[in-house]
Structure 1
Amino acid sequence: MSSSPITCHVLDSSIGKPAAGVGVNLHWQIRHASATCRGHGSTNADGRCTDLLSGNQPLAHRDSLKLEAGGVYKIVFETKDYFDKAGKATFYPWVEIPFIVTNPDEHHHIPLLISPFSYTTYRGS
């Protein structure tokens, strides 16, 4: 089980498999101001990134583990790097998904389905 309150899962629908090695960055921003990076990682062999915000962070960054009610966050998936490694051209160099945290005590899971020329996301559980 993850200790991170925000997790994600990336599936490559063009091959019907998890997308391993996709870089993931989590940002927090206030309205339309510049974003502050809060966590980063990459997807594992199962296409999951479960440690974006975890207790493994240095002590100085432990405050970033707490989500804020009404906070606007965005998760950025580095899809071009993933498709470059697979030897495939892609239209989208990254996928950026903004979302609002209404209840900071809930777990937030963001699934992403990608292919070289499309992507789909939804709020997971």
Structure 2
Amino acid sequence: MTSKASISTHVLNLGTGRPAAGVTVVLYGPDGGVLSQATTNPDGRVDEWSTDFELVSGEYQLVFEVGDWFKARGEDSFYTRIPIAFRIERPDEHYHVPLLMNAFGYSTYRGS
């Protein structure tokens, strides 16, 4: 199954209560290599990856480049990047991995 939307994410800036537009997100596959990357849209969502990819069972990682994002807004951030590692057991399912963040903390969960 080749799909740009097999893995989706969105980023919410809890400091402002607004979507975080313009965050670079890099997706790593089970072999540790880069599968694709994207930038969050005005709604804070990745709606399209830079390349198609095929999901297989294994461990994946989304890395959010938040340090650059905060710096571009003239804000300090404790985090330079936020990695979220997760496991895919059923490649035919959709995986939504949101990030809720501010300059000094973050949270995530498996969404729908």
Q: TM-score range by the shorter chain?
A: over 0.9
Stretches of 4+ moved more than 6 A in 1?
A: none
> How far off its partner does 1:85 sit?
1.2
Task: Quote the Cα distance in structure 1 between the aligned partners of 2:61 and 2:54.
Answer: 15
**What TM-score comes out, normalization by structure 1 length?**
0.83
Alignment of 1:93-104 (within 5 A): 93-104=80-91
Q: Which string of whole-angstrom CA distances, capped at 9 and with x for unpartnered residues, describes residues 96-120 of structure 1? A: 0000001101100111011000000
Q: How does the TM-score come out when normalised to structure 2?
A: 0.92
User: 1:41-60 alignment to 2 at 5 Å?
Assistant: 41-52=38-49, 57=51
Aligned length: 110
Bigger-Rg structure (1/2):
1
Q: Residue 10 of structure 2 aligns with which residue?
A: 9
CA RMSD of aligned residues (A): 1.5
Task: Compare the two structures and name the one with the higher helix fraction.
Answer: 1
Structure 2 counterparts to residues 35-74 of structure 1, below 5 A: 35-52=32-49, 57=51, 62=52, 65-69=53-57, 71-74=58-61
Q: Percent identity?
A: 42
Counterpart code for 1:28: G
The unaligned stretches of length 5 or more in structure 2 are none
Name which of 72, 75, 99 aligns with 1:85.
72
State how far apart, in whole Å, the 2-side matches of 1:20 and 1:122 are. 20
CA distance in 2, matches of 1:95, 1:41: 15
